[in-house]
Chains A and B, each alone.
Chain A
Amino acid sequence: MDALRCTDLTWAFRGKRAVDAVSLALQPGDIYGLVGRNGAGKSTLLKMIAGYLAPTAGTVEVFGEALGPCQTSPRIGCLIERPAINPALTGVQNVTVRAIAQGLPDPKEAAAEAVAAVGLGEASRDRAKGYSLGMKQRLGLALALVGRPDVLLLDEPFNGLDPEGVRLVRSLLVRLAEQRGTAIVVSSHVLDQLERMVTRYGVIRAGRLVAEMTAEEVEEACTDYLCVETADGPRALAVLERAFAEASFTVMPDEAIRVTGPVDGDAVGQALLAAAVPVRGLYTHTRDIEDYFVELMGGLGAVRQVPAPTEAAEGGENRG
């Protein structure tokens, strides 16, 4: 059974669809990275799932239980947009309020466990009005975690956290997913952190979920490859296939050849030179996760394009 299932979730405001028929499903233990530009509709989507905002259309189910519009669920823990903190209370009191509202048998114990999990330590006994941004973020996470929810909705959970905090939160989320089977949706622009924990990705663009892929698919798409630009593609391919049997080759429409696998740029150059194949360009193309998602999010103008042969070694392209 899906831990979380959204079907055709839509939110329209003044005739404009901020979220447009988004459907997604999470299994227990999934960590789903939601990426998209600012204003793409990520937070609005999370708010509808959480029951903070009534959808114009669509449904949300948590472990098979359909939630009505604006219906919250005790099985969902959230940190959306900003930590919901009462500055007049201490950190642990803030969490205790939620634990009491949840009807937990020992709210103070549950609150203490949640603040300890996010590393708030002794600071949890101080009033929240004196908290730094990072401490507020940790407290917001504790509020989301108290009561051990089965589904977590986290919007920019790494905001304001120091490196130690980032690592702690990341490992905590991975542990929750692996050990408790918590299904987690993380919306974040910190792609290198997502890369280290996410099992599946969803890309949201102008309110629409335009792509979904597994972490393995993203990793594969971001693999470095050697690019051989030549005027005689078929002959170059024949030479390379003979010389590098373990590598794989893709001929592009412009006759450029992409080489992936255990090959060295120098060796490729020498093989082609020895066979007298004219080579216009030979370089390693590096595409990181950021490039990949910027492209998917619709920001092609910002993508580091494969440069012309004369524009060597620019923006992550390493000529071989």
Chain B
Amino acid sequence: MANLFRAQWYRLFCRPSTAILLLVMAALAGLVAVQFTASWTDCHTFRAVLGRASVVEVCGPFVGLFLAAFFADDFQQGTVRSLMVGKGSRRAWGSAALVLAVLVAAGALLMEAVVTGVVYGAMGGAPVAFDGRELALWWLTATLLITAFTMLATLAAILVPVNPPAAAIIAATLLTSGLGFWFCQSAALSLPSPVGAFVEQEVLPLSLTQIRLNLLNGLPIEVWWLADGALVTAAATVAIMVVMARRELR
């Protein structure tokens, strides 16, 4: 698995688009902070600043779409074959994708947070409190959310027999933008009342998009958010491994 992860890491950072993505994300974070620092006077904590800067909202779609398309590209170009080098390679592909997604999501969030913080300070933003534990939990939760979205979109890409990148981009867009959530919400409203109410009040609040909205709104981070994100990530990764075990490599 380590070799496969190293190979994917090398491939990711040899692509010019990776550097472009990171630059665009950093520039976007900087621009948002430059534009709005003066109006963020009611932020008392750095986490609130990150929420106002929509760091998770920017990182989620950018990283989710980019990584899902990156993994799907393996199937589009047939390069997944080059990564298959022995017993266990097919399963290792899934675990390598998970590790890569976690690291890239965590790295991108950290970069966005640093750029936001630096620009916020440089622009003379109001003093805010740094709660290390809260920030670590925020970082962990956001990383898990983006990883889960990425792995779900990657699963969609390897499930479809044709045009995996398109499937990955559609799935990642639905997941990271919240469109899928709102579609489910609308569908729940059209269900008969006890079922619709159950879905709306009991099921949808557990969804990752709802957790993302909670994070954005600055709600105190709860342990079950982490558990939820980890569970979805693990389920998607296991599903990828199961599909990969028998999938034809074209």
A contact set with B: CB distance below 8 Å: 47, 50-54, 67-74, 78, 80-82, 84-90, 93-94, 96-98, 100-103, 143, 147
Label chain A's interface by main secondary structure.
loop
Question: Within 8 Å CB of B86, what residues of A?
Answer: 71-74
Beta-carbon contact of A98 and B7 below 8 Å: yes
Contact A86 to B87, CB < 8 A, known contacts A53-B248, A100-B7, A101-B4: no
Most chain B CB inside 10 Å of its own CB: which residue of A81, A86, A96, A101 = A101
Whole-angstrom distance between the Cβ of A50 and the nearest chain B Cβ: 8
Whether B203 is near chain A, meaning CB under 8 Å from some CB there, is: no
- Among the stretches B35-43, B72-80, B117-125, B150-158, the one at the interface with A is B72-80
Name which residue of chain B comes closest to A103, CB basis.
B3
B contact set with A: CB distance below 8 Å: 3-4, 6-7, 10-11, 14-17, 73, 77-87, 89-90, 245-250
Question: Within 8 Å CB of A54, what residues of B?
Answer: 246, 248
Beta-carbon contact of A70 and B77 below 8 Å: no
Q: Which listed residue, A68, A72, A84, touches B77 by the CB 8 Å rule?
A: A84
Alpha-carbon distance between A5 and B85 when the two chains are bound, in angstroms: 19
State the 5 A-B residue pairs at the shortest beta-carbon distance, nearest first: A84-B78, A101-B7, A72-B84, A100-B7, A52-B249
Question: Within 8 Å CB of B16, what residues of A?
Answer: 88
Beta-carbon contact of A78 and B81 below 8 Å: yes
Beta-carbon contact of B82 and A84 below 8 Å: yes
Question: Within 8 Å CB of B248, what residues of A?
Answer: 47, 52-54
Extra contacts, 11 of them, besides A82-B78, A97-B79, A101-B82 (Cβ < 8 A), are A50-B81, A53-B248, A71-B87, A72-B84, A81-B250, A84-B81, A86-B77, A89-B14, A97-B10, A101-B3, A101-B6
Whole-angstrom distance between the Cβ of A16 and the nearest chain B Cβ: 16
Whole-angstrom distance between the Cβ of B4 and the nearest chain A Cβ: 5
Most chain A CB inside 10 Å of its own CB: which residue of B6, B77, B85, B249 = B85
Beta-carbon contact of B249 and A88 below 8 Å: no
Beta-carbon contact of A101 and B15 below 8 Å: no
Alpha-carbon distance between A50 and B246 when the two chains are bound, in angstroms: 13
Whole-angstrom distance between the Cβ of A303 and the nearest chain B Cβ: 35
Name which residue of chain A comes closest to B84, CB basis.
A72
Beta-carbon contact of B17 and A85 below 8 Å: no
Beta-carbon contact of A85 and B89 below 8 Å: no
Name which residue of chain A comes closest to B74, CB basis.
A86
Name which residue of chain A comes closest to B73, CB basis.
A86
Question: Within 8 Å CB of B249, what residues of A?
Answer: 47, 52-53
Whole-angstrom distance between the Cβ of A118 and the nearest chain B Cβ: 15
Beta-carbon contact of A52 and B81 below 8 Å: yes
Alpha-carbon distance between A101 and B78 when the two chains are bound, in angstroms: 15
Could you give 24 example pairs across A and B, Cβ below 8 Å?
Answer: A52-B84, A52-B250, A53-B248, A53-B249, A68-B87, A69-B246, A78-B81, A80-B81, A81-B250, A82-B78, A84-B79, A85-B78, A88-B14, A88-B15, A89-B11, A93-B11, A94-B82, A97-B11, A97-B14, A97-B82, A97-B83, A102-B85, A103-B3, A143-B82
